[in-house]
Amino acid sequence: AEAIAALGPVLAKVGSPVEARLHVERVARKFGIHDVEAVRRQLRAGVRSARRRRRGEPEPEAPRKLQRAGKKVDFDGLELRLLGLLLDCPDLFGTAEAKNFGELLTSPDLRAIFLGTSRLVEERGGVEAPALLEEVQGNPALPWLEGRLARPEQEDSRGALELLRKGLRQLGQRSRQARLRALSQQIQQARQRGDDAAADEMMKKYVALFRGARDEKGSRGDDGDESSRFEDHGA
């Protein structure tokens, strides 16, 4: 019930009544609840609770909960978008693209959600929102996950797979650039300490990695900008 109520403030921002009703029905399906009106009551309760918190009022007949300690965590927009695609279309978890995405994820928190969802899909054949939310309790990305489960953005698996592939090309490029920077620093450090043999070996890896990135860019006939739609413009 608390997980559903937490989605109330998110869905309250939906302007269209028709779209809002569709989102409520999706929440009911995600949580396996047949009584849509009961879900609607929980969402309204969540909205009222959020208003009380903004006003500094205590929750009625309930102990106050401590806020999760720690600083706000900023997540990469591209990684969030691609993980969201997999949540929308869980059948993609069995693809090579999904496996590649899991390997390229840089956020341990998002990787925990990815792995938890992957296990649920393998064991139960789909994403069960209550089980997933329970598994990742305490994860700093939990608020994002709650909102994303409530408001799916992609229902077409074929279209989602194409978007995933485009995003993976950009993630791969980022990963290679990071590895090139790391190798460059290691080569410089090896030279400084007089270990020319180690520096030469790392230089070979650097050149091979650089050529691979250049060849891939050339084979696409572009500069990788086909994934620019995933960027956080103006963020």
- Can you tell me which residue has the tokens 């009625």? 60
Beta strands in 48-158 (DSSP E): none
233 vs 203, more confident: 203
Q: What is the largest CA-CA distance in the chain?
A: 73
Identify the weakest region by mean pLDDT among 35-44, 170-179, 192-201.
35-44
Confidence band (pLDDT; 50, 70, 90) for 91?
very high
Residue 71 DSSP symbol: P
Q: How many CB atoms lie within 10 A of CB 95?
A: 16
Inform me whether the pLDDT recorded for 113 exceeds 90. Answer: yes
Beta strands in 29-142 (DSSP E): none
Average pLDDT, stretch 30-45? 73
- Contact between 80 and 106 under an 8 Å Cβ cutoff? The reply is no
Confidence band (pLDDT; 50, 70, 90) for 215?
low
Q: How many CB atoms lie within 10 A of CB 195?
A: 13
Inform me whether the pLDDT recorded for 223 exceeds 50. Answer: no
Average pLDDT, stretch 75-87? 93
Average pLDDT, stretch 177-205? 85
pLDDT at position 164 is 95
Q: Is 213 helix (H, G, I), strand (E, B) or coil?
A: helix
Q: What is the dihedral of CA 94, 228, 141, 43, to 10 degrees?
A: -90
Average pLDDT, stretch 213-229? 47
